[in-house]
Chains A and B, each alone.
Chain A
Amino acid sequence: MTAAANSKVPVTILTGFLGAGKTTLLNRILQERHGERIAVIENEFGEAGVDNDILVFGDNEQIIEMNNGCICCTVRGDLVRILGDLRQRREAKPGAFDRIIIETTGLADPAPVAQTFFIDEDIAAYYALDAIVTVVDAKHADSQLNEFHEAQEQVGFADRILLSKSDLVSDSERARVCKRLVQINPRASIKQVNFGNTSIADLLDIGGFSLDSILEIEPDFLGEDHHEHDDAVQSFVFNSAAPFDQSRLQDFFRETIAESAKDLMRYKGIVAFDSLDHRVVFQGVHMLMNSDVGQAWAPGEPRKSKLVFIGRDLPKAKMLAGLERCLVQ
């Protein structure tokens, strides 16, 4: 990461289904003596009054509540404006805050919130979106994932999943929930959180949108079609030992995005091109994408590409076949 990127204010999007414990978690974190000054943008739709009472207004924290409903579906401009205001305050008073946590509503789609950081030039110049963190209630995960597509989407978008209330379920139940979460999203690490001793480190500096971060697939990910649950949000991984042709892979993305941008939630990859002795790393959210050069392949090192796609009802077979055709055999 460049020095300029490092000096940007990191932002974490905290999402999670209704009652998952986001506010409790935030409350804990704001009370913790971690030396970080955190500004919280609070947007708990319909529960504003309650959350207002619960959240701690410490000397170090600044809580800005948005009372005009959902940041995602009103206007993205609201978030732009509030981030602009916060910037002005920080510029007037350096050290006013070190980072921002945006707590979204239980029903929110994280995408428009995340996209704000990549679409708006001024926001992108000042802030760096670190990660989307999703709190999942272990006790109610199954029923919520069955019933609400928003719950699946929040899991699909996550860079990290914090499993709350896991003390309320048996080990086998917890393992089953984790397995289901991994099938929806194999690249988000799952951490159990006990609100008595949650560490701020579980939430911050994850680097979910950084191209430097490694692409880890949870070892429990089966990658096959024998799932216990037929969730609409699913993921798949494409591995190859043969290199890609760059222009063919670009064509593949152009077509896939033209057809499935709305359903393609997150994607990330490390690829080998036949024309290049370096890795190319890329990631995307819906239609937004970036790519950069990665490490050089060592002499004799197998040039293995790995791509992961997470989305809603993705045409998996078609996409896998399409990717296969981009390889140089």
Chain B
Amino acid sequence: MSTDLSSSLLCKSLLVGVDTDVKFAEPWEAKVFAIIVGLAQEGHFTWSEWVECFSKEVAAETAVEAAGGSPRPYYQQWLSAAEKLFISKGVTTREQLLARRFAVGSVGSTHMMK
């Protein structure tokens, strides 16, 4: 994906619950972000559906924190929410995610065959 994410005002405005100054610590974070935006633009789900799904994830995470647990990093929460939404919208399946994860878990994402 070649979109210049960091400079895309559209993308920034689509972010929920964060500072609009988008920063990615790892390449995969940008990739997750781009995939969500890309799939929404392709019409697989509406942006409000994504917001709703992500809000639930954040709420669950907040509950964990309130109960004394440590919350997962922000983009991990994105990833979890995205996976749930993609499955519920039929973009992918739970089985496919688990199967694809096998190679990532075995060789790391940088050695996944493109």
Contacts and interface: CB of A to CB of B under 8 A. Distances in A.
B114 interface: yes
Nearest to A120: B114
A207 B106 CA distance: 23
A276 B95 contact: yes
Interface in B72-114: 93, 95-96, 98-103, 105-107, 111-114
Contacts of A277: 95
A288 B105 contact: no
Contacts of A120: 114
Nearest to B114: A124
A249 B103 CA distance: 10
A285 B95 CA distance: 24
A66 interface: no
B103 A291 contact: yes
A276 B107 contact: no
B95 A254 contact: no
Most chain A CB within 10 A, of B99, B103, B112, is at B99
Contacts of A273: 98
B113 A276 contact: no
The secondary structure that dominates the A interface is: mixed
A319 to B, nearest CB: 14
Contacts of A281: 99
A293 B96 contact: yes
Contacts of B103: 282, 284, 289-291
Given A278-B95, A293-B96, A246 B102 contact: yes
6 closest A-B pairs by beta carbon, nearest first, are A253-B106, A124-B114, A250-B105, A293-B99, A291-B103, A290-B113
30 contacts: A125-B114, A246-B101, A246-B105, A247-B105, A250-B102, A250-B105, A250-B106, A253-B105, A254-B105, A276-B95, A276-B99, A280-B99, A281-B99, A282-B103, A284-B107, A285-B113, A287-B107, A288-B111, A288-B112, A289-B103, A289-B106, A290-B112, A290-B113, A291-B99, A291-B102, A291-B106, A292-B100, A293-B99, A294-B99, A296-B95
Interface of B: 93, 95-96, 98-103, 105-107, 111-114
